[in-house]
């Protein structure tokens, strides 16, 4: 294990950071499938097939700690550590792994706990068989004669790799962008092998816009005079102009409008020259640099094949007959989806579409959307929250596999009441679940199958660390819009809204929604009609502060302060039946609260709701 001083970019800020690393690593090459590989297209790729891969960490005795990391379009097997060392203190001049921020001791994918494998996928140009490889049948490079491949073909090769390494089970498959597509494909093709998947900045199928960008990039390459119908390497040429343009087009989709404005704006390099041929704007120079750098490290034919594989990727068509829910019914693994707010290549709405489908299929699914200005590239750049979320999810998944022991929480009166209401083994949704304490309690006491929804990022990560299914989402947006989170009618046995309804913009609309998506609703709230609060307002002339309402008027998240009587009137107006009511007070017993002025004596109220005529709702 090494400690390293390195430069890290966060947004537009570059800073020196110290951290632990797996240190010096090397890329291994293994030959698999001597008989060849039957591809999705029906063609057979001759064997043996070379696979480049790296490993980090130590395989435990029962081989239960294995994580497969899948890279994106232009990535490689070198995900972490360094290939060569110039300076032992700073690693200056070394080749750093593309996900060094995420993989390593104590990091998101903790090599102190996990044995990590990253392989270069089929069709790439970094050691695994692809267009630059020699065709054993002809003795020449494949070039454009390489057979067309798909994401599932790449996954078949990865599956054979881990088998050759003596591994039959994966704790998780983790990938971003095209790597996320591979993780999804793994979950459907080999659900018996995979325990969980972390799918980052990915999609279930490429949009028409994304296919269009890829098509323009491919056309730039094949229009280059040096492409030579794909035989450029045999003729000692490189279609550098076409590949550079393809990379520039692709790179634009990896950024965001905001990040480009902040980094470049309309800055000129040396002022206006009024010369069409000159590169004048800084953003032009930057894209040119990215294109040139890419040409020096990547193969044009590989770019053609890989982008085509991405375009073909369509889980819904391939596995669901047009219904994404049917896709997720074919697997039984746990999912964590991660998206980024300014990613317009694979926007958050596409992750939420998958989350909605997995929910409808009754799967264990979690989701977090991370605020970032860096567009699609955020998963490689803004890694702090991403790393925490991945770590919380993987650690909890591993702990569950090792027979997690529940933590015993302090007994709370409201928890005990909710526990009595909920039936054993029910499917429960907790809106505004906070750190998940209630769901952990119900998991322990009633063996519920639960999902929490929470808007606070830190609370979401805390829920992940407890092994809970949690969705990072603003419930004010509702659960019907396909661009947000969709939840089907009567998807849950119970929806719990615990001390949250007063924080919502439209409590009445929420009540209608929760009774659409659940058979029963449990709603608790602080009673602003409680006598002590009335006295504070009467005697002090200031907004009350109490254990149930512990905020000053200027920093409270509560935007609707109402009484028990107000809530009863709202339910009547909405045609909602209050089936049961429980009153909680530290001063008075429940009999006094329920029989003598509950609106005055109860500090907190818990209600069980349904529609008056459930057949009509």
**Judgement on whether residues 305 and 424 belong to the same structural domain of the protein:** no
Contact 150, 184 (CB under 8 A): no
Report the percentage of the chain scoring pLDDT > 70: 91
What would the pLDDT profile of 342-351 be if each residue is shown by its tens digit? 999 999 999 9
**Judgement on whether residues 610 and 503 belong to the same structural domain of the protein:** yes
The pLDDT value given to residue 198 = 98
Q: Of 312, 330, 347, which closes a domain?
A: 312
**How many domains, in total, are found in the chain?**
2
The pLDDT value given to residue 275 = 79
> Which segment of 22-26, 90-94, 369-373, 486-490 scores lowest on mean pLDDT?
90-94
pTM of this structure? 0.92
Is 161 inside a domain boundary?
Answer: no
The mean pLDDT value for 353-371 works out to 97
Q: Which CATH number does the domain housing residue 502 bear?
A: 3.40.50.150
Is 586 inside a domain boundary?
Answer: yes
What would the pLDDT profile of 458-508 be if each residue is shown by its tens digit? 999 999 999 999 999 999 988 877 778 999 999 999 999 998 998 888 999
Is 490 inside a domain boundary?
Answer: yes
Q: Of 294, 312, 330, which closes a domain?
A: 312
What would the pLDDT profile of 249-288 be if each residue is shown by its tens digit? 999 999 999 999 998 999 998 888 887 888 889 999 999 9
What would the pLDDT profile of 296-351 be if each residue is shown by its tens digit? 999 999 999 999 999 999 999 999 999 999 999 999 999 999 999 999 999 999 99
Strands 518-526 and 365-370, bridge-based pairing: unpaired
What would the pLDDT profile of 231-254 be if each residue is shown by its tens digit? 999 899 999 999 999 999 999 999
Is 580 inside a domain boundary?
Answer: yes
Alpha carbon distance 363, 385 (integer Å): 24
The pLDDT value given to residue 8 = 52
The pLDDT value given to residue 557 = 82
The pLDDT value given to residue 592 = 60
Alpha carbon distance 97, 22 (integer Å): 10
DSSP H helical segments within 376-506, as ranges?
378-381, 384-401, 413-421, 437-446, 457-465
Residue 399 corresponds to which tokens in the numbers above?
């702990």
**Judgement on whether residues 412 and 550 belong to the same structural domain of the protein:** yes
Q: Which residue has the higher pLDDT, 8 or 45?
A: 45
Is 211 inside a domain boundary?
Answer: yes
Q: How far is CA 257 from CA 96, 214, 334, 342, in A?
A: 28, 20, 34, 8
Is 140 inside a domain boundary?
Answer: no
Q: Of 296, 312, 328, which closes a domain?
A: 312
pLDDT at 588 over 70: no
pLDDT at 72 over 90: yes
Q: 300-312 and 178-189 are packed helices; what angle lies between their axes, rounded to 10 degrees?
A: 50
What would the pLDDT profile of 95-150 be if each residue is shown by its tens digit? 889 999 999 999 999 999 999 999 999 999 999 999 999 999 999 999 999 999 99
Is 80 inside a domain boundary?
Answer: no
Q: Which CATH number does the domain housing residue 239 bear?
A: 1.10.1740.110
Is 5 inside a domain boundary?
Answer: no
Catalytic residues: 177, 343, 376
**Judgement on whether residues 437 and 571 belong to the same structural domain of the protein:** yes
Domain span at residue 454? 406-616
What would the pLDDT profile of 400-450 be if each residue is shown by its tens digit? 877 766 666 566 788 999 999 999 999 999 999 999 999 999 999 999 999
């Amino acid at each position: 294990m090494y400690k390293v001083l390195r430069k890290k970019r966060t947004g537009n800020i570059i800073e020196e950071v110290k951290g632990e690393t797996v240190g010096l690593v090397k890329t291994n090459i293994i030959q698999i499938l001597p008989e060849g590989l039957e591809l999705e297209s029906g063609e057979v790729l001759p064997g043996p097939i070379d696979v480049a891969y790296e490993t980090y960490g130590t395989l435990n005795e029962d081989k239960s700690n294995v994580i497969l990391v899948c890279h994106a379009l232009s990535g490689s097997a070198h995900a972490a550590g360094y290939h060569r060392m110039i300076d032992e203190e700073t690693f200056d001049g070394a080749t750093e792994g593309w996900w060094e921020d995420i993989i390593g001791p104590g990091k998101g994918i903790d090599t102190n706990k996990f044995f990590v494998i990253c392989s270069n996928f089929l069709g790439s140009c970094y050691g695994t068989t692809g267009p630059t490889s020699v065709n054993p049948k002809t003795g020449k490079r494949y070039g454009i004669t390489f057979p067309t491949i798909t994401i599932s073909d790449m996954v078949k090769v990865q599956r054979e790799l881990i088998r050759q390494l003596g591994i039959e089970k994966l704790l998780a498959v983790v990938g971003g962008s095209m790597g996320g597509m591979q993780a999804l494909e793994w979950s459907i093709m080999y659900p018996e092998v995979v325990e969980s998947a972390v799918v980052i900045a990915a999609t279930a199928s490429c949009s028409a816009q994304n296919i269009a960008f890829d098509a323009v990039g491919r056309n730039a390459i094949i229009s280059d005079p040096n492409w030579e119908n794909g035989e450029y390497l045999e003729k000692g040429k490189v279609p550098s102009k076409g590949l550079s343009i393809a990379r520039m087009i692709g790179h634009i989709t990896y950024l965001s409008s905001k990040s480009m404005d902040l980094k470049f704006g309309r800055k000129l390099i040396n002022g206006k020259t009024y010369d069409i041929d000159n590169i004048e704007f800084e953003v032009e120079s930057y894209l040119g640099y990215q294109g040139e750098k890419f040409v020096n490290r990547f193969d044009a034919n590989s770019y053609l094949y890989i982008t085509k594989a991405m375009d073909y990727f369509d889980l819904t068509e391939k596995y669901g007959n047009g219904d994404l829910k049917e896709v997720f019914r074919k697997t039984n693994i746990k999912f964590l989806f991660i998206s980024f707010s300014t990613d317009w290549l694979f926007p958050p709405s596409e992750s939420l579409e998958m989350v909605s489908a997995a929910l409808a299929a009754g799967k264990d699914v979690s989701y977090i959307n991370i605020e970032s200005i860096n567009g699609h590239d955020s998963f490689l750049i803004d890694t702090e929250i991403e790393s925490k979320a991945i770590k919380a999810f993987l650690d909890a998944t591993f702990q569950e596999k090792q027979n997690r022991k529940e933590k015993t929480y302090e007994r709370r009166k409201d928890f005990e009441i909710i526990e009595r209401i909920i039936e054993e083994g029910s499917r429960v949704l907790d809106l505004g679940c906070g750190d998940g304490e209630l769901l952990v309690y119900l998991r322990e006491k009633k063996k519920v199958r639960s999902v929490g929804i929470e808007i606070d990022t830190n609370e979401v990560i805390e829920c992940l660390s407890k092994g809970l299914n949690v969705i990072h989402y603003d419930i004010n947006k509702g659960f019907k819009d396909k661009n947000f989170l969709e939840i089907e009618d009567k998807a849950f046995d119970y929806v719990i809204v615990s001390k949250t309804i007063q924080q919502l913009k439209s409590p009445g609309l929420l009540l209608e929604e929760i009774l659409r998506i659940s058979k029963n609703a449990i709603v608790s709230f602080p009673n602003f009609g409680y006598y002590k609060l009335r006295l504070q307002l009467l005697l002090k002339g200031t907004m009350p502060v109490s254990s149930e309402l512990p905020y000053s008027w200027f920093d409270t998240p509560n935007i609707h302060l109402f009484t028990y009587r107000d809530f009863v009137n709202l339910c009547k107006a909405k045609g909602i039946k209050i089936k049961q009511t429980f009153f909680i007070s530290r001063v008075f017993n429940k009999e006094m609260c329920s029989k003598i002025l509950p609106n005055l004596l109860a500090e907190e109220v818990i209600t069980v709701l349904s529609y008056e005529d459930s057949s009509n709702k």
